[in-house]
Amino acid sequence: MSSTDFLLLLGAGFVGGIVNTLAGGASVITVPALVLVGLPGTVANGTNRVGVFLQSVVAAWRFRAEGVSGFRKSLPVLLPVALGSLAGAAIVSQLTDETFNRIFGIVMILLVVPMLRPPPTGIDARAQVRRKWSTAVTFIVFLAIGFYGGAFQAGVGLFLILALSYAGYDLVQANSIKVVVNGALTAVAVPVFLLNNQVEWIPALVLASGFTAGGIVGVRAAVAGGERVIRPVLVASVLLLAGRMLGFY
């Protein structure tokens, strides 16, 4: 790895760690960075997960240290998320690079509208969940999110925030739960990519170093600034992901 590649991955990971902690969608930055340094698409998809996992673990720990722990509140959704992630990773790991790139592009385009639609918040959101989200529906929603996260990762944090906002959590709480859930679904997916030789360790560890540093900065910003810091990053992340979906860059 050249010094330029090293700095590119370190910088992409740092920015990605902040974005993933405050919102989500950083994989639209980090996966292309991995491809740019020479990794095939499927290998970049697997390699990226190492950094996402470590960033999620560090961010969850830092949220807990700041008094905003998401561990207990994440327990009801961990099972469906883990099952979905395992299935998604198992399926996508068998695809060729060409097929993966095509499916990824189609999925990105299809997800533009729901990603840009703002979720309800506060009392209205909690009332809506009580009316519409039974235990079975909640299981299915998070199973689907887990499947998507296991397969593609990019933007799964935004979906988690969307679902958690519908469950009545504010953005700081939602982010503390999100990093725990994201860590769990990534922990399930990583062994699948390892078994299929789709993780390159040197780029993974360089990217992960940036991810973890960015995660620490992101938690401090989230706790100190609250929703006034998180919401602009959330909107920017959605627009960034949508632009990538539509092929603008």
Which amino acid is residue 208, in one-letter code? A
- Region 215-226: what's the mean pLDDT? 86
Torsion of CA 77, 44, 101, 25, to 10 degrees: 50
Residue-wise pLDDT for 159-205, tens only, equals: 888 888 777 777 888 888 999 999 999 999 999 999 999 999 999 99
Q: What is the pLDDT of residue 197?
A: 93
Residue-wise pLDDT for 146-162, tens only, equals: 999 998 887 788 888 88
Of 229, 153, 217, 139, whose CA–CA distance to 185 is shortest?
153
pTM: 0.81
Mean confidence (pLDDT) of the chain: 82
Q: What is the pLDDT of residue 87?
A: 95
Of 249, 240, 229, 239, whose CA–CA distance to 21 is shortest?
229
Please give the residue that has the higher pLDDT: either 105 or 138.
Answer: 138
Q: What is the pLDDT of residue 121?
A: 47
Sequence ranges of the domains in the chain: 3-245
> What is the C-alpha separation between 47 and 54, in angstroms, rounded?
12
Q: What is the pLDDT of residue 213?
A: 94
Residue-wise pLDDT for 106-140, tens only, equals: 766 565 555 555 544 444 444 444 445 677 888 99
pLDDT at 246 over 70: no
> What is the C-alpha separation between 79 and 247, in angstroms, rounded?
34
